[in-house]
Structure 1
Amino acid sequence: MDFSGSEPVRGPGEAELLPATVAAAVKVVVVGGFGVGKTTLVGSVSEIRPLTTEETMTEAGVGIDDLAGVERKSSTTVAMDFGRITISDQLVLYVFGTPGQERFWFLWNGLFEGALGAVVLVDTRRLEVSFDVLGRLEARGVPFVVAVNSFPESPLHSLDELRGALDLPPHVPIVECDARLRDSSRDVLMALMRYLYELAAQPVG
């Protein structure tokens, strides 16, 4: 995980089975720079035991991975994280977390295939690591919301100030969250679902 204090992971059992009433499954992707809390969010919100591909960081990343602000981080996602959350009796979200280091971004193509939208997780201590991520999503034309992860030592800024710093268009939602908390992470995904619904309801042309 990206930082301690996550809620306990729910183990295998009845929660692993999809309700018989489920009519739709939607794929969404959680993206962000290195160490912003993507693995934590996927793990906290998942109703099944999440799949993670975290590996211990080694000297291979020295001089390549930017550890500024996350010097205590000892592991990293090298392929993806995966979790699942049931939004309603009829709707399930499959949540994929991407690697944060730029040297693993070639994996994004596969992870985004079939995805309806994305959550961009940002850390206010290191906003600069989010700029390239946002640019890639805009270039792909992927709808996204921005979630500001609340680390204990994060500087405080208003959402309007952060919108300006990230150069977000007015229509892109930006919300605060604590990726360690299931309800907070779920609210982020619901914000994405509401945004996707709004986009789908807009008249064509």
Structure 2
Amino acid sequence: MDFRSSDTAVGPRSADVLPQSVTAAVKIVIVGGFGVGKTTLVGAVSEIKPLTTEETMTRAGIGVDDTRGVARKTTTTVAMDFGRISINDELVLYLFGTPGQERFWFLWRGLFEGALGAVVLLDTRRPAISFDVIGRLEERGVPFVVAVNTFPGAPHHPVEELRAALDLPPSVPILACDARSRESCRDVLLTLMRYLHAQAATPEAM
């Protein structure tokens, strides 16, 4: 199983049109705190030109948005990111990236509706911002995997230390990810698909 290749292009492409052979679609949400790389991940792995709602950050966010660790960030998602991945000729994944700032979290409820699973992006420089994100997924019963975005200079922690810090059961996958790399993001999505399949096969064990 592999994803179709994607080349950057300007304007409409034939690859942007959903093939008539597609019979099933799965909704996946990409969640995480402010500045963890959600927009980057969707853009890196999407086979179509991604839809983004990035806006320039203004002085209005000073004192409201927590920019510690991402002080040089100049844009932010204010609604959602959207991309698409074809697993094969019949199955596609629709990717929805959520806004990271807490003041936009009211939009999450709609984005979670109908989602089969989620990817939680984690920045080890600011792990605390993931606690509320994971809590919201657990409250809504959305299965998820944790992808540790490997920012340059970010501290490295063994998986079991991260699992303990996040208070996650052994069944939840935790893996490293480079949100800029299509191959790395693909591996994260494949891990989520395998996890969802395992849940469906043995629900009593989850």
TM-score normalised per structure 1: 0.93
1:184-195 matches, cutoff 5 A:
184-195=184-195
Aligned to 1:4: none
Structure 2 unaligned spans of 5+: 1-5
- Distance in structure 1 (CA, Å) of the matches to 2:121 and 2:59: 26
Aligned to 2:51: 51
Change (3 A) 1:10 1:32: farther
Given that residues 9 and 43 in structure 1 are in contact (C-alpha distance below 8 angstroms), is that contact kept between their aligned partners in structure 2? Answer: no
Aligned to 2:98: 98
Aligned to 1:13: 13
- Distance in structure 2 (CA, Å) of the matches to 1:74 and 1:83: 22
Amino acid aligned to 1:38: K
SS for the counterpart of 1:27 is strand
Aligned to 1:202: 202
Deviation at 1:115, TM superposition (A): 0.8
SS for the counterpart of 1:51 is coil
Given that residues 31 and 133 in structure 1 are in contact (C-alpha distance below 8 angstroms), is that contact kept between their aligned partners in structure 2? Answer: yes
Deviation at 1:90, TM superposition (A): 1.8
SS for the counterpart of 1:199 is helix
* 1:59-97 CA distance string (max 9 Å, x none): 111111001100000110000000001112221000000
SS for the counterpart of 1:146 is strand
1:51-200 matches, cutoff 5 A:
51-200=51-200
- Distance in structure 2 (CA, Å) of the matches to 1:167 and 1:203: 20
Alpha-carbon RMSD across the aligned residues, in angstroms, is 1.5
Aligned length: 199
SS for the counterpart of 2:126 is helix
SS for the counterpart of 1:72 is coil
Deviation at 1:202, TM superposition (A): 1.5
Aligned to 1:23: 23
Deviation at 1:9, TM superposition (A): 3.7
- Distance in structure 1 (CA, Å) of the matches to 2:153 and 2:74: 19
SS for the counterpart of 1:125 is coil
SS for the counterpart of 2:199 is helix
Given that residues 143 and 196 in structure 1 are in contact (C-alpha distance below 8 angstroms), is that contact kept between their aligned partners in structure 2? Answer: yes
Aligned to 2:3: none
More divergent stretch after superposition (134-143 vs 9-18): 9-18
Aligned to 1:36: 36
Deviation at 1:10, TM superposition (A): 4.5
- Distance in structure 2 (CA, Å) of the matches to 1:186 and 1:78: 25
